[in-house]
Chains A and B, each alone.
Chain A
Amino acid sequence: MLALFKLERRPETSRAMVYCSPLIAVVLTVFTAMIMFSLLGVDPVKAITVFFIEPISSVDGIAELCVKATPLILIGVGLSLGFKADVWNIGAEGQLIIGALSGGGLALAFYDQESIFLLPAMLVFGILGGMFWAAIPAFLKTRYNTNEILTSLMLTYVGLLVLSYLIHGPWKDPDGQNFPESRLFHESALLPILIDETRLNLGWFVALLVVALGWVLVSRHVIGFQIKVVGMAAMAASFAGFKEKKLVWLTLLVSGGCAGLAGVIELSGAIGQIVPSISPGYGFTAIIVAFLGRLHPVGVFFAGLLMALTYLGGDSAQISLNMPNAVTGVFQGMLLFFLLASDVLIRYRFKFSQSPPMSERQQ
């Protein structure tokens, strides 16, 4: 296979490919998905329509797209900062849950009281909760040199079990017929709905705000520059006097805070109570969102919308085509594979091996 061509390093990285690569990946994913669908005995054109067009052909559908994109964008912006600096927080799912529990716990503590301060306080608690959960790997990495990939992931499992404990124990709705669910939140603990009859809520604007803030940080602030340098050349960064430990703390706290915020927005905007499964893996999908969005806040915004569509598509395929919605995860993984594969073209180009044609050889 590789005898036909070889990779040659480009003199400089191709900026065009940085932006083309996600498009190539999407096209290849859709193409492969069509093959997969026809192997499963489903008309591929119909399946693609059900998956990608039907979910967003109504106002309700578009509102739902934004609801699903909100946590993905929030977490994606935070994670992309860390990934740039070579800090691999992959425990955003756990930080999301702890953030949701911190904000949701506050809502439960004041469940029968009306206050305009409750909602802002919940959001702040959510951010702090996520930060706290991300501070553990940050502390262990800076103090004990412990790999943050494994610690942040282990803490995700711990976070899920904390949720399970609270929801089956102290926070269970006392009037809820023993279902593992909390009380319904009071009106003043719910984020205002933007469009009636949909779930689109104020959290969407929070996500847009975070994208704007992230953009300013990355392109206009010295911290954004430091993050980039540390990721590209750690040695140069330390010569320049950038504190690597400080950036580990910063990127983990920011990404944890974003994930926590996403969690509490999901609770008070979309769900309205604490349930056993707060997130269908937003924290993990956001990793793909960050890469697909080229680790840039604006790119993350579009990538978040696209990945949100795969969730809606999975649900729609379950209803219309009777397929398990696990198909979403397959799509997402495939998309990341194709993206990583076509990213090779950013730094390399294919060079077809030039064995001279037979006619020339004989001369």
Chain B
Amino acid sequence: MILEWLLPAILTIVTAATPLVFAAVGEAVVEKAGVLNLGVEGMMVIGAITAFATAVSTESGILAVIAGAVAGLALSLIFGVLTVYLQSNQVATGLSLTIFGLGLSALIGHSYVGKTFSGLPKLQLPVISEIPILGQLVFGHDGLVYLSVLSVMAVAWFLNRTRAGLVLRAVGENHEAAHSIGYPVRLVRLSAILFGGAMAGIGGAYLSICYTPLWVENMTAGRGWIALALVVFASWRPWRAFFGAYLFGSITIIQLYAQGMGVEVSAAFLSMLPYVATIIVLVLISRDSIRARLNAPACLGKNFHATG
């Protein structure tokens, strides 16, 4: 009997967590390369509107996701050129990316308010998906959910098991040393930033074509910032970011179920939960200052300028 509400609850957690997984894992790679991009919110929201606009006009989910990724990537390119090549302050540039993204998405989205999209189809394998409970739990999601898991695996493998991943981490830990060995510091950083942008774009696309298949201004509602917090929470490790995202997904749905079960708390207070939880988690993780410093990439947020 418990399974009757547990299964839908888990499915809701998955949809709430997936956009965060994309954005957080992308940002983890960016930060591992020593770059702090605070524009995740802006890239997500641009990904969301571009994907939604594409979905409405082409009726194709795949094209929509690609469009979202490209839009996030395009926005991150601005950030990359400014911070990596023009030495601009990373914090300020990231903030302006968010302000710009929110404004531009509202401008583009103006004519898409009120339109709808059917959403991505769920995976339906013959026989397997029909296994009671397990079939729905493992094989009943839309394609992006599987892509998010795959991308976590790929990123974890890339960072820890490949030579290129090692170079990326070296650039993030000590860009001067990496440069003197002959690694292309700026190219590595720009590539990481672009990857992060595309991932944030896909995360945003998930919001507008799967989570709530419609466009609302500012629909990311701080998820980009929560993704940034998740990266700190995860100590820059992809799998921990993944589980962190699911933890947050579960907090998000508490509000839905609490209201459903008739808990006498104002909706506004329940909506505060994810934000308050983010603060609490950040406090817990950064309380031990020595450990927090050991985990963070040493060159995080510092610009690199080659001399000589």
Tell me whether chain B's interface is mostly helix, strand or loop, or mixed: helix
Known: A147-B286, A340-B92. A158 touches B100 (CB 8 A): no
Total count of chain A residues near the partner, CB < 8 A: 47
A-B contact pairs, 26 of them (CB 8 A): A146-B287, A150-B228, A151-B279, A154-B222, A157-B222, A158-B272, A158-B275, A161-B269, A161-B271, A164-B268, A285-B99, A324-B106, A324-B107, A324-B110, A326-B103, A327-B103, A328-B103, A329-B100, A330-B100, A333-B103, A337-B78, A337-B93, A340-B82, A341-B86, A347-B87, A348-B305
Q: Tell me whether B229 and A150 are in contact (CB under 8 A).
A: yes
Cα distance, A154 to B229, chains bound together (Å): 10
The proximity string for B residues 256-283 relative to A, scoring 1 for CB distances below 8 Å and 0 otherwise, is 0000000000101101100110110011
B268 close to A168 (CB less than 8 A): yes
| Chain A residues within 8 Å of B106, by CB | 324, 326, 329
Instruction: Say yes or no for A287: interface residue by CB 8 A criterion.
Output: yes
Q: How many Å lie between the Cα of A334 and that of B97 in the bound state?
A: 9
Q: Once the chains bind, are A344 and B86 in contact (CB under 8 Å)? A: yes
Other than A7-B85, A329-B102, A344-B88, give 16 A-B pairs with Cβ distance below 8 A: A88-B91, A140-B282, A147-B232, A150-B228, A150-B229, A161-B272, A287-B95, A326-B104, A327-B107, A331-B103, A332-B100, A333-B99, A333-B103, A337-B93, A340-B86, A343-B89
User: Which B residues, 62 to 117, have Cβ-Cβ distances below 8 Å to chain A?
Assistant: 78, 82, 85-89, 91-93, 95-97, 99-104, 106-107, 110
The A/B interface has a contact count, at CB < 8 Å, of 139
* Residue B221 at the chain A interface, CB threshold 8 Å: yes
The reply to whether A149 and B38 form a contact with Cβ atoms under 8 Å apart is yes
Which of A154, A329, A341 has the most C-beta atoms of chain B within 10 angstroms of its own C-beta? A154
- Which chain B residues border A119 with CB–CB below 8 Å? none
Binary interface encoding of chain A residues 340-355 relative to chain B, with 1 for a CB under 8 A from any of its CBs, else 0: 1101100110000000
| Nearest CB on A from B225, distance (A) | 5
Tell me the interface secondary structure of chain A in the complex: helix
Are B93 and A146 in contact, with the CB atoms below 8 A? no
Residues of A within 8 A of B85 (CB): 2, 7
Task: Report, as a range, how many residues of chain B touch the other chain.
Answer: 35 or more
Q: Which of B38, B89, B279, B305 contacts A7 (CB 8 A)?
A: B305
Q: How far is the CA of A330 from the CA of B279 in the complex (A)?
A: 30
CB neighbours of A161 from chain B (8 A):
268-269, 271-272
Per-position binary interface string of chain A over residues 108-142, scored 1 when its CB falls under 8 Å from any chain B CB and 0 otherwise = 00000000000000000000000000000000100
* A254 interface residue (CB < 8 Å to B): no
Q: Is A155 an interface residue (CB 8 A)?
A: yes
Known: A88-B91, A162-B268, A287-B95. A330 touches B292 (CB 8 A): no
Choose among A154, A284, A340 the residue that contacts B275 (Cβ–Cβ < 8 A).
A154
- Bound together, the chains give a CA A291 to CA B305 distance in angstroms of 22
Whether B289 is near chain A, meaning CB under 8 Å from some CB there, is yes
Task: Specify which chain B residues have a CB less than 8 angstroms from the CB of A154 in the assembled complex.
Answer: 222, 225, 229, 275-276, 278-279
